[in-house]
Amino acid sequence: MSPMVLENDVEVGESLPPATEHAVSVSLPTWRANVGYEEGEEWVISKMKTGYPRFFIHKQIQAFSEAIAEKHGRKGEVAMLFPTNATASRGRDFILRYAPDMEVRIVDLVPAAERERLEELEIISPRISAILYPAEHFKIAKQYWQHSGEGVSSRRAEYCSQLFREGLLVEPSTLTDSKPQSPRVCKGPRRYQKKTSVDFDSMKGSTEGEVQDPVSFVEERFGRNLNLTMTNNAKLAIRRRIAGSLTADVGLTEAMAFGCGASDN
């Protein structure tokens, strides 16, 4: 059995828990490291692998922002990512309040295969809205990111980034009535690579005899991110709880067995 890892044994800038891709806590094991972080000292900042989302823009979000700015931006522009046009619009208005002469644009990206209404894309709704603005005004944009909490999540950025690389996340103006040439849809990270047709009986037996991927285990067990096959059943369980027919604090499988005679409308 491996020895327990104490907090002070975790390297400066490593995620807590260690090697957790979407962790929101970071190791600053000494007082000197905390002071170094607050004062922006390079020996701390350069080692930061993650951090609290409002203060540290996740590296996957940073990389995705750079890719969008490279493709859709102009010289000297950078991108800040938001999950919807509405949140991006509020961010743009905030930036213009403090820099009214700045040119700020919003680029919306939607699934290229949207017209086929593929079930996975319909469930996840992988859309991104990017604010494009001059790089020298990053501090103003970062204020909105930090104080609003409306920036895109690292998990959403991870999923959408792969769609973007595959050419499956595009501006709405490029969509046509014709079907995409390739029917293949990027499935994103492995934890999303599940069939999306929901069947309760197959869901119960889907993990029997299988060795679960450790990333999926962490995401689903501790990150509370359901497998996509459970989407419709989870919504049904929530409706039953709201209706009062589900009162026990139980797991999803047990929840589906509760109140089977109750109305689901």
pLDDT in tens, 190-245: 554 544 333 434 444 444 556 666 666 666 666 566 676 777 777 777 787 787 76
The SS3 call for residue 66 is helix
Q: Which amino acid is at 44?
A: V
Given a cut of 60, is residue 136 above it in pLDDT? yes
Terminal CA-CA length for the chain? 51
Lowest-pLDDT range, 14-23, 94-103, 234-243? 234-243
pLDDT band at 119 (very low <50, low <70, confident <90, very high): low
The answer to whether residue 171 scores a pLDDT higher than 60 is yes
The helix (run of H) or strand (run of E) holding residue 76 is none
Rounded CA gap, 85 and 108, in Å? 7
* Average pLDDT over all residues of the chain: 78
Q: Kindly tell me if the per-residue pLDDT of 105 is higher than 70.
A: yes
* CA proximity to 56, closest of 176, 151, 179: 151
Give me the phi and psi of 108, to 5 degrees please.
-95, 140
Rounded to an integer, what distance in angstroms lies between the CA atom of residue 11 and that of residue 18?
Answer: 9
111 cis-preceded (ω within 30 degrees of 0): no
Query: Where does the pLDDT of residue 118 fall: very low under 50, low under 70, confident under 90, or very high at 90 and above?
Result: low
Q: What is the pLDDT of residue 168?
A: 86
- In this predicted structure, which of 61-75, 80-94, 157-171 has the lowest mean pLDDT? 157-171
3-state SS class at 180: coil
pLDDT for the residue numbered 224: 60
**Other beta carbons within 10 Å of 75:** 6
Sign of the C-alpha dihedral computed for residues 44, 45, 47 and 48 taken in this order: positive
Examine the pLDDT at 150 and tell me if it is beyond 80. yes
* Residue 109, pLDDT score: 95
Distances (CA, A) of 75 to 78, 96, 166, 191, 254: 9, 19, 24, 36, 55
- The token pair at 79 is 């991108």
Give the C-alpha distances (Å, rounded to integers) separating 114 from 32, 82, 128: 51, 19, 14
Asked if 35 contacts 47 with a C-beta cutoff of 8 angstroms, the reply is no
What is the average pLDDT across 70-91?
Answer: 96
